[in-house]
A and B are shown apart, each in its own frame.
Chain A
């Protein structure tokens, strides 16, 4: 299973300059890739293009060789799951269990009932993200970090082959962040993962590949330990960084 973007160019409606100008990347099982870049650099837009929600001005996104927007929706989401950064608050409040169950494809449309396998899968996913105790709570009563975990569970519940996560730990506390990192590491051998993040440490700790998005292009890509250096980060973020080793792990912080 493979998601490939080639020479993507995208201009927001009403804007003259393209936000993304020739971005190419590949996501495949066995690797966690991190996408970094400053605010407004087009990271979330790139995720929308990769998911097929937005159409590029030029270039292509293919899922297993077929344009992503041409896949039947149910087939597409069985292969490719996306966890958005922001999800609208629905008018109807659903419980955690209801929300995660919506991620399952093939729920009996009329009765809404789950097969025993689907039920097992749902319970396993709730457990994986520490949501079992919250399963009967209404999502409107949860914190931002808890809601983020619910939406991650809704994406993972159908066991996708590829997973795009847009800032999955932006509202998480350190313990939850650690848990999500270890979960991604566990999934990585069988699932291709792209994590969009501002957290340089997250990229250093869990990604095997990192990409720096700057001026509409991938400015640097490669092993995170090699490309996340003060020299590469300074032009992207516009501020100086310091890198040092702590207990054998590279740590990078803005000065």
Chain B
């Protein structure tokens, strides 16, 4: 199938999910009440922000996962591998449990971002050779250390604070500030996607291993570090605003690659659109299935993604 047609199909799916995200929610609002007194209804406005947030977070996680899987040549690779989730969790829990949450709405996301970036930088600083494999091992180590410290914090915390930490760790696209969080994340996503599209030939060559990439004109060591740092930054920014949303960054790129294969030039934008559509739909499900107390979006992504993934696992790219 031609690349343009593939992109159009995924774009249509993402747009359909976006429309559903605005139309459906815990409260039923007739179309006639979408505009009140010449302005959008506040609930609809919230839904638009929330849907846009789900789209940006989902697309960022999918792009990040796609790069991790390509560079590490491992279909189990996911965006949080280089210590991002452990670091962000530690930062957010630290902010909540030590009372920094009272400083304002942005304090928890900022501490989470700080934790994620610090853990990520620690990985790059601690691993001397910086090959993909060693960075992966370093990431697992730093992530485990951060998670252990997080457990220590939780152990010594009050149960009320603990609930806040657990809820944050389950992931949610609620309460995302459109100007201070969503807009910078969207800009980062667009910039990262443009860069990756331009360097997709390098990503293709890296999937054959760093030596093969070097022998075909890619500065493999530098490119590995740049790509993993960029993918981790995407993950760090999403985790700081939406918590830890599993499965999206693992499954979506894998499914798109399995369905269409070929060059990353061809699958990068479809993966981003599929990630956006997937998280928007998971968010809608979480809102609609349990309107009183919403299901955490991370739980929905796993519940929906797992059977879809298993079904696709038994399919292969046409022509193989």
A binding-site residues for B, Cβ under 8 Å: 48, 51-53, 73-74, 76-77, 81-82, 84, 87-88, 90-95, 98, 102-103, 105, 107, 109-110, 112, 136, 138, 140-141, 154-155
Contact call B215/A138, Cβ cutoff below 8 A: no
B binding-site residues for A, Cβ under 8 Å: 69-70, 73-75, 197-201, 204-205, 207-209, 211-212, 214-220, 257, 261-267, 317, 319-320
Residues of chain A with a CB closer than 8 A to B208's CB: 87-88, 90
Q: Given A98-B262, A112-B265, A138-B317, does the pair A91, B215 have CB atoms closer than 8 Å?
A: no
Contact call B216/A154, Cβ cutoff below 8 A: yes
Contact call B320/A93, Cβ cutoff below 8 A: yes
Residues of chain A with a CB closer than 8 A to B319's CB: 136, 138
Residues of chain B with a CB closer than 8 A to A90's CB: 73, 207-208
Q: Given A90-B73, A92-B70, A94-B263, does the pair A73, B217 have CB atoms closer than 8 Å?
A: yes
CB-based closest 6 A-B pairs: A88-B209, A90-B207, A77-B217, A82-B215, A73-B217, A74-B217
Q: Given A48-B211, A73-B217, does the pair A94, B261 have CB atoms closer than 8 Å?
A: yes
25 intermolecular pairs with C-beta atoms under 8 Å apart: A53-B220, A73-B217, A73-B218, A77-B216, A84-B211, A84-B215, A87-B212, A88-B73, A88-B209, A88-B212, A91-B70, A91-B73, A92-B261, A92-B262, A92-B263, A94-B262, A94-B263, A95-B262, A103-B216, A105-B216, A107-B201, A110-B197, A110-B265, A112-B201, A155-B215
Measured between alpha carbons, how far is A102 from B264 in the docked complex, in Å? Answer: 12
Measured between alpha carbons, how far is A154 from B261 in the docked complex, in Å? Answer: 19
Measured between alpha carbons, how far is A77 from B205 in the docked complex, in Å? Answer: 13
- In terms of DSSP, what is the predominant structure of the interface of chain A? loop
- Would you give the shortest CB distance from A103 to chain B, in whole angstroms? 6
Q: Given A84-B212, A88-B208, A138-B320, does the pair A76, B261 have CB atoms closer than 8 Å?
A: no
Contact call A94/B204, Cβ cutoff below 8 A: yes
Measured between alpha carbons, how far is A221 from B129 in the docked complex, in Å? Answer: 36
Measured between alpha carbons, how far is A105 from B216 in the docked complex, in Å? Answer: 8
Residues of chain B with a CB closer than 8 A to A154's CB: 216
- Would you give the shortest CB distance from B110 to chain A, in whole angstroms? 35
- Would you give the shortest CB distance from B186 to chain A, in whole angstroms? 21
- Would you give the shortest CB distance from B266 to chain A, in whole angstroms? 8
Measured between alpha carbons, how far is A243 from B201 in the docked complex, in Å? Answer: 49
Can you add 9 more A-B contacts, CB < 8 Å, to A73-B217, A109-B200, A136-B319? A53-B211, A81-B215, A91-B257, A92-B261, A93-B320, A98-B262, A112-B200, A138-B261, A138-B317
- Would you give the shortest CB distance from B271 to chain A, in whole angstroms? 11
Contact call B215/A77, Cβ cutoff below 8 A: yes
**Nearest A residue to B212 by beta-carbon distance?**
A87
- Would you give the shortest CB distance from B69 to chain A, in whole angstroms? 6
Contact call A105/B217, Cβ cutoff below 8 A: yes
Contact call A92/B217, Cβ cutoff below 8 A: no
Q: Given A94-B204, A138-B319, A140-B320, does the pair A76, B217 have CB atoms closer than 8 Å?
A: yes
- Would you give the shortest CB distance from B63 to chain A, in whole angstroms? 15
Contact call A102/B215, Cβ cutoff below 8 A: no
Measured between alpha carbons, how far is A77 from B220 in the docked complex, in Å? Answer: 13
Contact call A73/B219, Cβ cutoff below 8 A: yes
Residues of chain A with a CB closer than 8 A to B69's CB: 91
Residues of chain A with a CB closer than 8 A to B263's CB: 92, 94, 98, 112
Residues of chain A with a CB closer than 8 A to B265's CB: 110, 112
Measured between alpha carbons, how far is A51 from B198 in the docked complex, in Å? Answer: 26
Residue in B201, B212, B320 whose CB lies within 8 Å of A109: B201
Residues of chain A with a CB closer than 8 A to B214's CB: 51-53, 73
Measured between alpha carbons, how far is A92 from B200 in the docked complex, in Å? Answer: 13
Measured between alpha carbons, how far is A88 from B215 in the docked complex, in Å? Answer: 13
Q: Given A77-B216, A84-B215, A91-B74, does the pair A102, B201 have CB atoms closer than 8 Å?
A: yes
- Would you give the shortest CB distance from A15 to chain B, in whole angstroms? 15
From A76, A92, A102, A138, name the one whose CB has the most chain B CB atoms within 10 angstroms.
A92
Measured between alpha carbons, how far is A208 from B204 in the docked complex, in Å? Answer: 37
- Would you give the shortest CB distance from B68 to chain A, in whole angstroms? 11
Measured between alpha carbons, how far is A136 from B199 in the docked complex, in Å? Answer: 24
Contact call B320/A141, Cβ cutoff below 8 A: yes
Residues of chain A with a CB closer than 8 A to B74's CB: 91
Contact call B261/A102, Cβ cutoff below 8 A: no
**Nearest B residue to A90 by beta-carbon distance?**
B207
**Nearest B residue to A54 by beta-carbon distance?**
B211
Measured between alpha carbons, how far is A77 from B218 in the docked complex, in Å? Answer: 9
Measured between alpha carbons, how far is A74 from B211 in the docked complex, in Å? Answer: 15
**Nearest B residue to A71 by beta-carbon distance?**
B217
Residues of chain B with a CB closer than 8 A to A103's CB: 216
